[in-house]
Structure 1
Amino acid sequence: MKTLYDVQQLLKKFNIYVYVGKRIWDIEVMALELDHLHQAQLITQDEFIQAKLVLTQQHRIEEQKNNGRDL
């Protein structure tokens, strides 16, 4: 799992579709949904860790984009 699309496909397997309207918010909601799947033991530890790493990286990228707009 290397991209945000891969994480979306994982969530899609559980009929979880996330669209809030802002990419950074979508990433945050995906992280919450991922936590719920992990707590329910519906995904493996490896899937969870890989997906969380992707989401963390993408969240940082979006924060950097947004901080650039504030200047």
Structure 2
Amino acid sequence: MATEPIIVHRPSPTGGRLVTAYGRILGLAHNDRDLIEFLRRVGLTDVETLIDDPQVVEWQGGRAHHYGAA
């Protein structure tokens, strides 16, 4: 498995946050359910817990779990 971080990028001007993991784009998350599904698709388990672990997921720009327009 690659060692690049999972990044939830800053909220976009129209809402949603780009999610990248291991150097690739996973999609645009509009809520935690989207984020969890993206992470499951790359093979992670216990993602409900992992999304709050700063050693695993980096939330950039804005507060965690906020997906509204910037």
Larger Rg: 1
TM-score w.r.t. the length of structure 2 is 0.34
Structure with the largest fraction of helix? 1
TM-score (norm 1): 0.33
